[in-house]
Amino acid sequence: MPVTLGPILETQRLILRAPAAEDFEPWAKFAADEDVMRFLGGVQAPSVAWRGLCSVTGAWTIRGFSMFSVIEKSTGRWVGRLGPWQPHDWPGTEVGWGLAREAWGKGYASEGAAACLDFVFDVQGWTEVIHVIEPGNTASQAVAKRLGSMLLGPAKMPAPYEDVAVEAWGQTREQWRARRGR
């Protein structure tokens, strides 16, 4: 019997919940899409996508937080994964996002990431958040700006990604709360 991990967050259009076994097929399709994976480490075979799904799911047990599966309320479809992320040697406490192509341009990344920022600051007690973004990923840079994050500068990724040029965008809990009027 599957175990429920983590909270369920709801926004106007999304349900954010821990990944589950039924997410594998859309997760693998997401990971096989060249455009989707352009800034997310490249296309992955289903076996690698499976390990990624299990890694994200396992982080809920080990860290007490991890990325959520993004479920579109209107259709019940899995449309991506986003949320808190901090593997070993990661450059900081991140809220990241990656959405399936059919979910692009709908504002889901900003909507879901905002709910996750509330979660990490209010529930997890984080004091700052970064978003690790490749310099050419203008769509994710736009999401970071909509969230109120600023470019902090270059960041160093752990192996095996140490040669990938990335920038950290981010903000503090106080900056986020001031922006949200709290």
Q: When comparing pLDDT for 37 and 6, which is higher?
A: 6
The region of weakest confidence among 2-6, 50-54, 80-84, 108-112 is 2-6
Q: What is the pTM of this model?
A: 0.93
In this prediction, residue 1 carries a pLDDT of 46
Predicted confidence (pLDDT) per residue in 112-171, tens digit: 999 999 999 999 999 999 999 999 999 999 999 999 999 999 999 999 989 999 999 999
Residue 156 token pair? 């160093």
Question: At 157, which helix (H) or strand (E)?
Answer: none
Backbone angles phi, psi at 169, to 5 degrees: -110, 150
Side-chain half-sphere of 149: how many Cα atoms within 13 Å?
A: 26
Domains and CATH numbers, the chain: 9-180 (3.40.630.30)
Neighbours of 109 (CB within 10 A): 25
Residue at token pair 């900056």:
175
Neighbours of 7 (CB within 10 A): 12
